[in-house]
Structure 1
Amino acid sequence: MPTLLLVRHGRSTANTAAVLAGWTPGVHLDDAGRAQAEALAQRLSPVPVADVVVSPLERCQETADALCAVDGPTGPRPPLRTDERLGECRYGDWTGRALKDLAKEPLWRTVQSHPSAAVFPGPDGESLATMQHRAVEAVREHDARVQAEHGDDAVWVAVTHGDVIKAVLADALGMHLDLFQRISADPCSVSVVRYAPLRPFVLRVNDSGGDLAGFAPQRRKRGSRRKAISSDAVVGGSTGAA
């Protein structure tokens, strides 16, 4: 089963301005965000990456460009693959507004306590449930494709947005969307999921500084047999990365 590294974009100009960017064009990484992406590229340098799938929005594209500017252990990174399904939630009329003002809206409480019922206002507003559906569909489709093209040991990266990552992790954890606000996804953090035949395994959440080298596929001894993919959890807890 491939390993999926869910990466949130680095800190953006909208983050520092405390506004809800959504699909607003021209929202770029700020200086701190660029530094975060460059640091993450170094953390990822020991890990071979088979594919990089990215939201179309500039802050994600810039983060992915920085990650791919540093070669992996087998050479240059693969070209970026853009998928709109990994784009930010479409916040409709909330887009571009200050978070302090949005917190006074009646819908804010729904977003916080009952997000599965939250539908953002305006003709292009999207529900959080619709966002989750398209994002989970995208990552599962890409995961299956990566497995078919690169094998069970492949590692791939999806560079996307905080609410998208939280929604994908909630699905992988078997949590109702109404609980997804319990999950955090900081700028340039990494969360890790493996989709086994029976269930997903969530291996890391909101990691902003840990060693990622352990997610590189382990070399097998010549002549050794590949272990069959298992959906079983280790009783008592795993022994961790080799």
Structure 2
Amino acid sequence: MESMREQHISIFGAQGHFGGRLLSRLGEIKPQGVYIEPVVEREKNREAAFNSNLVILTVRPSQVLETLNGIKTPLNTDAQILSFAAGVPLSQISKAAHRPSARMMSDPWFNVSAYVLGERFSKDKNEFIFNYLTRMKPIELTNDESIDRFTLLISQLFVAHILGRTGVIASAEQHAQFIAAQLKCKPELLMDLKTEDDPQKALEVIETSDRVSVSEKFRDALIKMPKVSPADLFVAVSEEFKHSE
């Protein structure tokens, strides 16, 4: 009997906060025959690209195109790209890599996620990521705009959840209901969220050193206006973030 073909996955940026968490999570859910390699040193990039069936990018958004330009020559001809970088369009990723590409976004505790598949990207052999990465089954979206909007929504969800635990806002329930309506899911699925036990540490996890993150904008806005409606908060931060890019 012919043995099942092995699947080799490399995580670029595995030394980062999210990359390290993703490495652990994929280790928990991967099936037999799937091998996951963390790539934490730049000099290992080309070798990892050559040996990988799936290249996962968890580098900062500002480093995505530079990383892809550095590995596109040795990149396995059958490789696909999966990017977790916020705000970097599929068109730029696939153009830089010359490979089928997809985008995915998740909170760092793997409660909720969504993804967009680019042209010719196949979930074959990677179904475990697109089915089981998060506690709630990952949501398939249609384009960059929809996943960028999803990024804003889950940022608001988790900031509200954490600030509700600290007492900065009275409750995160209204935010969960608003976001559930946008994602077309049951509100209770977004109320039982797993994060750090210490809410201050949870806030630190969702911040980024690359630029002022959307999560920080939601945090600052909610601290300033703790009684703002979820819809008004979403519009205000979305507009502010759009103009700051």
**Shorter-chain TM-score tier:** under 0.3
Question: Which one has more relative contact order, counting CA pairs under 8 Å at least 6 apart?
Answer: 1
Q: Comparing both structures, which one devotes a greater share of its residues to helix?
A: 2
TM-score, normalising length from structure 2?
A: 0.25
